[in-house]
Amino acid sequence: MTSPSLNPIDLRDLRLDDARALLEHGGAIDLPTPETAPAAFLQGVIDGLCELSLRDPLTGLANRRHFRAVLAREIDVVVRSGNPALLLMLDIDHFKSINDAHGHLAGDRVLQAVARCLAGCVRPQDTVARYGGEEFAIVLPDCQLNYGEAVAERIRQTVANLSIAVSPELTLQITLSVGGAFAPTQSRCTPDVWVERADNQLYQAKAQGRNRVYIDHQQVISVSAEEKSLLFGALSTGEPAWGESAPGTNEDSAMQKVNP
């Protein structure tokens, strides 16, 4: 039996004008024209939109979706290799007062300046993301303790030394609070557990006066009963499971959070 033939797609029927305009606005790629190179044009649109979907439109950093994927992938790497990895959570101090006093456009310019600063303080293999609002996140793979502390402190000092021009008449100086946690090397944790540990250090930095760095050096942690059920549930079926976590502090006792 002969299979039906497939008709070629006419690019004009795809109505790609909006997608092309979005890509050009984001500065993602330089697209060929559909008339001269239709296949390359379509592939360029697809590749560009995929890349754009992983970026925060305001800062150009990785967005939260991309960050979560990187975090999960890095947990796998740490469990397999044993190489340390550090997660930093960073929050602009008193950011709400900037928006209230100077408007959201000024706040946007502060976010963009901080994003450029963070990107300039890390290695090419590190991932810098806008986590949400005025909070950023950095994943540093293969990161030794001394190096991670030095990077976090360099970021804090560099941001504190910034003079951010938010208008021709106004320049602002800001500070960051930084919290960090190393991924456990002897057990598999979830991305949420890793983020919570780094966030707890961030809240401590806030509570102790802001413009500070707090890093949890512990690389062996315990997990809750719910997480054990998720991570080691395969044991009940006789399938191999990841190794049990070693004793450590109880992650369920979270620190009282303070307002940024």
Catalytic residues: 134
Between CA 170 and CA 102 the distance in angstroms is: 9
Between CA 243 and CA 141 the distance in angstroms is: 22
8 Å CB contact between 244 and 187: yes
Between CA 87 and CA 79 the distance in angstroms is: 15
Structure tokens at 236: 């009940």
- In a 13 Å sphere around the CA of 252, the CA atoms on its Cβ side amount to 6
Q: Which of 127, 141, 152 is nearest to 62 (CA)?
A: 127
List, in sequence order, every residue forming a beta bridge with 136; answer none if it has no partner.
90, 130
Q: Which of 130, 163, 139 is nearest to 59 (CA)?
A: 130
8 Å CB contact between 34 and 106: no
Using CA atoms of 79, 84, 85, 88 in order, give the dihedral in degrees to the nearest 10.
130
What angle, rounded to 10 degrees, do the helices at 104-120 and 145-160 form? 140
8 Å CB contact between 201 and 216: yes
